[in-house]
Amino acid sequence: MIIGDQVQFGAEQVQFIQPSLPRVTMLMRMGAACEWQASDNRNRR
């Protein structure tokens, strides 16, 4: 899944540059929301 990979890479990048847990958590939450939305759209079709 492209979206998940991008979010995971972004989270790793942020952690490498500035290890701040809230920002990584926010990125992971955004990724989960994107995945949930994608699966929701798939179920509706």
User: 7 near 30, Cβ under 8 Å?
Assistant: yes
Question: Which residue stretches of the chain have pLDDT < 50?
Answer: 1
From the number of C-beta atoms within 10 Å of its C-beta (0-12, 13-18, 19+), residue 2 rates as: exposed
pLDDT of residue 1: 45
